[in-house]
Amino acid sequence: MKHTLTIALKNQSVAVERFLRVARHRGFDLTKMNLEMAEDAFRVTMTVVSDKPIHLLTSQLNKLVDVKHVTLESQLQQQAI
């Protein structure tokens, strides 16, 4: 199953390493990623593939101190686009 997530991170380069580590460790393969530096935050859009339910990733990402919020684009929306 493919999912696209938007993650707002505090403006720290280590934050990127943290969420990538979590995605790998929890069993989600990264297929696409875009990172932009906004005024006070990194904004990351990434697409991951896994046979695991996506809440297993979003709930872990939400625990990271560096993560401000995680938004999930549903698979359905993705297909409509």
Partner 1 sequence: MTGAELTIDLLAKHGVKDVFGYPGGAIMPIYDALYGAPVKHYLTRHEQGAGFAAVGFARSTGKLGVCFATSGPGATNLITALADAMMDSVPLLAITGQVPTAAIGSDAFQEIDVLGMSLSCTKHSYMVERPEDLAEILQEAIHLAQTGRPGPVLVDIPKDIQMAQVPFHPWLAAEDTLPKLDPNQVAIANQILSEAQRPVAYVGGGVQAADAQNELMQFLEKTHMPAVTTLKALGSVLPDYEYDLGMLGMHGGKAANLAVQECDVLVCIGARFDDRVTGNLSKFAAKAKVIHLDIDAAEIGKRKPVKASLVADLKTSLPQLDCFVTPDEWLLHIESMMKEHAWRYDYPGEKVFAPYLLNQLSQKMPKTGVVCCDVGQHQMWVAQHMKFSHPSNHLSSGGAGTMGFGLPAAIGAQVARPDDFVITVSGDGSIMMNIQELATIRRNNLPVKILILDNQRLGMVRQWQQLFFEGRYSETNLSDNPDFVQLAAVFGIPGQTVTRADEVDTAIDALVNSQGPYILHVCIDDKENVWPLVPPGAANDEMMTETVK
Q: Which of 11, 62, 75, 78 binds partner 1 (CB under 8 A)?
A: 62
Short-list 18, 16, 48, 51, CA closest to 31: 48
**Strands across the sheet with 67-73, in order?**
29-37, 41-49, 2-10, 67-73
Window 22-61: contact mask with partner 1 (x via CB under 8 A): ---x---------------------------x-xx--xx-
Q: How far apart are CA 76 and CA 22, in angstroms?
A: 25
Q: How far is the CB of 79 from partner 1 (least distance, A)?
A: 25
Q: Does 18 bind partner 1 (CB under 8 A)?
A: yes
Q: How far is the CB of 23 from partner 1 (least distance, A)?
A: 12
